[in-house]
Structure 1
Amino acid sequence: MKKIFKIEKIAALFLVMVFAMSSCTKDLDITPKDDQDLLGEDFFKDETSYKRLLAGVYGNLSLTGVDGPGSSNIDGLDAGTSQFGRVLLYLQTLSADQMIWSYENDPGTREIQRNIWNANDPIILGMFGRSHVTIAFANNFLRETTDAKLTERNVSATTKTEIVKYRAEARLLRAMSYYYMMDLFGQANFTTEEDAINTSPKAYDRTQLFEFVESELIAIEADLADPLANEHGRASKGVAWMILAKIYLNAEVYIGQDKYTECLDYCKKIISGGYALAAEYSHNFMADNDINSAKNEIIFPLISDGTFTQNFGPTTVMVNGSVGSLEVNGAALGVGAGGWGGALRLRKEFVELFDGGIYNSDTRNTIISGTRSKEITDISNKDQGYILEKYSNAKSTGGFGVDQTFVDTDFPLFRLADVYLMYAEAHLRGGTGANPTDLTGFINELRTRAKNPQNNLTIADINLDFIIDERSRELHWEAHRRQDLIRFGRFTGGNYNWAWKGNGTNGIALPATLKLYPIPSASLKSNPELKQNDGY
């Protein structure tokens, strides 16, 4: 069993909390009805309860419902369209040029991967709802840990000191949720612990969300654990720095301002924080990535555990889905031999990024072609298109995870390799403060780790076209691609098309309005302050 921040022990607590929430699609703000509906004072007599309550906030990133991995606590949504990491993967990766999902009868997937979504798409609703659940849980934790309540309960000085850190982590998880709302929707229902329970939430736009996320993460930095000093699965200063680096890298998209120097500043903080690349690229995506050499590269994981946190999250989806319909290669990946029968395949534009001799031995190239065609002319034909073996339920030391469906592989939401590439991009976009020697060193370090023979690049070899392609080679299927393509001006319009973009076999231009997802119809009904995004 993983030695992690044990969300298995708080699964029941997480689910009790959910039932005390308003969780129907009429109110996806999902705020507590009443403090005592959530947890009675008896709960807090044991001072370890505060850590368990914090674990409930983290638990919402992995768990979905009360009756096992197939259940969901958001009415009208199943576990597959409401698990945080999975819907994030769909909205950031399935919508772009790397991945195809074979089973288009699965609710919402056809619309996402063909870029024909609307405000009633269940995956979009799942992301909007699940993120607001995290916000609600974080707000509740903060309400329960005020100085006044801790004093009233005679909480010890030692526990109070720990709770300072816990509160910073809850605020970070809330800020991260608002970051994803800003990126995907440009709006959010906005509440904090200062808002009275059951008051109607405000609607914050992108600028307001940017300012809140930025100020909140800066404010809590001193109270967070140092990088690599917290329990596995818990946030540290490094996670706050990573989110700040991300919002600064994308600031021109979000608020129309250049903040590349700020991005560089936070990339340098992360790089100086003690993180190190895993010895092998594959270690980041294996069942023991919490203890193998990836433990110092992964800045923040979404926990997956085949025994205690079973869920249909991103790594379970990608390992089972990567089993080819022709290859039946699941045993090598640590799941059932047939997996999910060819659920996932690759779009040809991604495959072509690995064309050429220098990528034949590149360990990031886990593409299997076999007798398959590169073209996918019929999405329902699972024998068309190449497959990928990036993620597995195997361990770096041999053996496999404990379950043959629900994998032990944590999802690397943020990792150091991304920081290296952001450092280079921010410099190329005009940010100041980068060391050119470091820049080329970071890129060549990634190439060397991947055993790519072209690992002596100079500054003249590295431009923005190189960066966008190298980001796909390094970070594919890690829920970054849509964001990257938007930042590079390649997601909408017709200057870069990919298979099935806009529902065309070879791709067609997309309207600029698709840079944002629609606000779900159910959420508009519950909060009149939200306004539908243009084009929907």
Structure 2
Amino acid sequence: MKTNLTTYKVMMLVTIFFVSFTSCTKDLDITPQDDQTLLGEDFFANETSYKELLAGVYANLSLTGINGPESSNIIGLDAGTSQFGRTLLYLQTLAADQIIWSYENDGGVAGIQRNNWTDQNPLILGMFSRAHATVAFANNFLRETTSEKLDSRNVSSDVRADIVTYRAEARLLRAMSYYYLIDLFGQANFVTEEDQVNSIPKAANRAELFTYVEAELKAIEADLLDAKTNEHGRADKAVAAMILAKLYLNAEVYIGEAKYDECVVELNKIINAGYSLAPDYLLNFTADNDTNAATNEIIFPLVSDGTIVQNYGPTTVLVNGSVGSLEANGAPLGVGAGGWGGAIRLRKQFVQLFDGGVFLQDTRNNIISGSRSIDILDISNKDQGYVIEKFSNAKSTGGFGSDQTFVDTDFPLFRFADVYLMYAEAHLRGATNTSEVNALTYINNLRIRANNPETITSAELNLDFILDERARELHLEAHRRQDLIRFGKFTGGSYNWTWKGNGTNGISLPSHLDLYPIPSASLATSPNLQQNLGY
């Protein structure tokens, strides 16, 4: 069990918040009605309620309901298709060139990994809905913490000072949700605390959302705690800088404008904040990555805990899914020996990124080949394709997590290694406030940490290398689809991978698949949304 879960223990107290959300969710999507406040004034009699209410906003990133891991507070969606980190993992990673999920009868999986999804895919609906739920929770928190509300409740000056930071964190989580909606869908229902409850929200497009997220994150920076000074699992200035850096790195995709200098400004804030690489790559993915040296590398985690925060989130999926059908290697990973019976296998193109002797001892190479074939000709055949051990429910100090199904391992949503990779990419894309020396040093720091005997030279540092190195460093961390789109390799036929477009060896994808469709259920309840082109 984790030793530093103050915020997330509080989450479990926020049942009123979750009940209020469930009771007013009448559609498959997050509607304006979901943004109302059903908490009575007696809830705020104790001034700790404000931190509890903030914890409810964070809780939506890990939990799906209040009645255990199987429950969902979004009517019409189960826990497996509506957990934030899991749906993000599927839409960013399963849709790309790294992994295959064996069980295609799982809701929405076949459509995502074969790139033939429709607007009725439950995983797409789950991500769209869960992101809007965070917006709703954040708006609710902000409405309950206005100066007028605090005055009427005679809130003490000490708590009011804390609430300044709480409000900044709620705004950050709302902005982060809109960032993911920009990336995945290109539009969203746009609602803030200033909108009247139950009003019909307007639809905001990519450019409008980009401008909002950028302005919002800049506006709250001074009110956030300094990097690495907040409680585990809570956001700070480095998280805001990371979201902005991601926004700017992808700006050419989102709004057709290059913003690489702006990206580097934010990256330098993080670089100068005292973060460093963990001495061992795999420390980032163990059951104690909230207390080991990875705490100096992980900028923002999605918290997981086998006892307190049980959920079918990304790390539970990745650890149980990494147990091979032939290997039955679950015991050393800290889950049942059989795990989920060969759920995850690797697409050939990802495996080939580790070809060559320099990757034999590279600690990022945790691929298991055994007697397996590299090709996956039949997705249902769990014995085809290599498997991988990256995430683990084992502790770096020995022993295992508190449960053999629901892991203690936090998911590193943002990690310092990515800052180095983004800096080098921004440099290659024309940022004027970078240096080649720094870019090369940062990339080679990753190689040295990974025990790779081959550092690279300036002549070898190019965009193709960066794309491949991002896959080697950040695989299974919900970045790959975004990366491939930014490099022009997700749609079209310049780069094909196993089962891309439902072809055994991959086929060209039409360009409209660079965005997911707006779920049909969301269109039915949000009259201002319009379906994305091509769907």
Same fold (TM over 0.5): yes
SS in 2 for 1:7: helix
C-alpha separation in 2, matches of 1:293 and 1:511: 43
Alignment-mate amino acid for residue 516 of structure 2: Y
C-alpha separation in 1, matches of 2:95 and 2:449: 29
C-alpha separation in 2, matches of 1:112 and 1:23: 26
Could you tell me which residue of structure 2 aligns to residue 4 of structure 1?
5
* TM-score, with structure 2 as normaliser: 0.98
C-alpha separation in 1, matches of 2:295 and 2:108: 34
CA deviation string 1:483-525 (max 9, x = no partner): 0000000000000000000000000000000000000001101
1:284 equivalent to 2:284? Answer: yes
1:474 equivalent to 2:473? Answer: yes
CA deviation string 1:10-69 (max 9, x = no partner): 22414643434532335423544643x2x1111111111100100000000000013210
The alpha carbon displacement at 1:4 in A equals 2.3
C-alpha separation in 2, matches of 1:226 and 1:275: 12
The alpha carbon displacement at 1:458 in A equals 2.3
C-alpha separation in 2, matches of 1:358 and 1:33: 53
C-alpha separation in 1, matches of 2:159 and 2:405: 39
C-alpha separation in 2, matches of 1:275 and 1:15: 37
1:348 equivalent to 2:348? Answer: yes
C-alpha separation in 1, matches of 2:484 and 2:283: 27
Contact 2:319 2:393 in 1 (8 A): yes
Contact 2:32 2:200 in 1 (8 A): no
The alpha carbon displacement at 1:411 in A equals 0.2
C-alpha separation in 1, matches of 2:67 and 2:129: 19
Deviates most, 67-76 or 480-489: 67-76
C-alpha separation in 2, matches of 1:250 and 1:312: 29
CA deviation string 1:160-195 (max 9, x = no partner): 000000000000000000000000000000100000
Could you tell me which residue of structure 2 aligns to residue 521 of structure 1?
520
Could you tell me which residue of structure 2 aligns to residue 176 of structure 1?
176
Query: Structure 1 regions of 5+ residues with no counterpart?
Result: none
Deviates most, 398-407 or 15-24: 15-24
Where do residues 256-295 of structure 1 align in structure 2 (5 Å cutoff)? 256-295=256-295
Contact 1:302 1:412 in 2 (8 A): yes
Contact 1:275 1:296 in 2 (8 A): yes
Could you tell me which residue of structure 2 aligns to residue 500 of structure 1?
499
Could you tell me which residue of structure 2 aligns to residue 485 of structure 1?
484
Where do residues 39-54 of structure 1 align in structure 2 (5 Å cutoff)? 39-54=39-54
Could you tell me which residue of structure 1 aligns to residue 382 of structure 2?
382
Deviates most, 168-177 or 262-271: 262-271
Deviates most, 13-22 or 101-110: 13-22
Could you tell me which residue of structure 2 aligns to residue 460 of structure 1?
459
Q: 1:165 to 1:489 in 2, by over 3 A?
A: same
Contact 2:412 2:477 in 1 (8 A): yes
C-alpha separation in 1, matches of 2:462 and 2:33: 46
SS in 1 for 2:100: strand
CA deviation string 1:44-97 (max 9, x = no partner): 111111001000000000000132101111111110000000000000000000
C-alpha separation in 1, matches of 2:367 and 2:397: 23
Query: Structure 2 regions of 5+ residues with no counterpart?
Result: none
Alignment-mate amino acid for residue 502 of structure 2: N
Contact 2:35 2:140 in 1 (8 A): no
Alignment-mate amino acid for residue 28 of structure 1: I
Alignment-mate amino acid for residue 462 of structure 2: N
Contact 2:72 2:82 in 1 (8 A): yes
Q: 1:447 to 1:285 in 2, by over 3 A?
A: same
C-alpha separation in 2, matches of 1:341 and 1:62: 24
CA deviation string 1:373-404 (max 9, x = no partner): 00000000000000010000001111100000
C-alpha separation in 2, matches of 1:161 and 1:33: 25
CA deviation string 1:94-148 (max 9, x = no partner): 0000010000000100000000000000000000000111000000000000011
The alpha carbon displacement at 1:467 in A equals 0.1
Q: RMSD in angstroms over aligned alpha carbons?
A: 1.1
Could you tell me which residue of structure 1 aligns to residue 398 of structure 2?
398
Where do residues 306-317 of structure 1 align in structure 2 (5 Å cutoff)? 306-317=306-317
Q: 1:298 to 1:361 in 2, by over 3 A?
A: same
C-alpha separation in 1, matches of 2:493 and 2:156: 62
Could you tell me which residue of structure 1 aligns to residue 82 of structure 2?
82
Q: 1:124 to 1:15 in 2, by over 3 A?
A: farther
Where do residues 298-337 of structure 1 align in structure 2 (5 Å cutoff)? 298-337=298-337
C-alpha separation in 1, matches of 2:246 and 2:181: 14
Q: 1:33 to 1:263 in 2, by over 3 A?
A: closer
- Regions of 4+ moved over 6 Å: none
C-alpha separation in 2, matches of 1:424 and 1:319: 31
Could you tell me which residue of structure 2 aligns to residue 361 of structure 1?
361
Where do residues 1-150 of structure 1 align in structure 2 (5 Å cutoff)? 1-2=1-2, 3-14=4-15, 16-20=17-21, 22-29=24-31, 31-32=33-34, 34-35=36-37, 37=38, 39-150=39-150
SS in 2 for 1:308: coil
SS in 1 for 2:203: strand
SS in 2 for 1:301: strand
Contact 1:425 1:467 in 2 (8 A): yes
CA deviation string 1:221-261 (max 9, x = no partner): 00001000000000000000000000000000000000011
C-alpha separation in 2, matches of 1:414 and 1:14: 28
C-alpha separation in 1, matches of 2:283 and 2:516: 33
Contact 2:35 2:137 in 1 (8 A): no
Contact 2:28 2:76 in 1 (8 A): no
Contact 2:493 2:508 in 1 (8 A): yes
C-alpha separation in 1, matches of 2:414 and 2:175: 15
Alignment-mate amino acid for residue 486 of structure 2: R
Alignment-mate amino acid for residue 452 of structure 1: N
Contact 2:89 2:478 in 1 (8 A): yes
Contact 2:32 2:201 in 1 (8 A): no
Q: 1:18 to 1:490 in 2, by over 3 A?
A: farther
Contact 1:30 1:133 in 2 (8 A): no
SS in 1 for 2:10: coil
SS in 1 for 2:311: coil
C-alpha separation in 1, matches of 2:423 and 2:58: 29
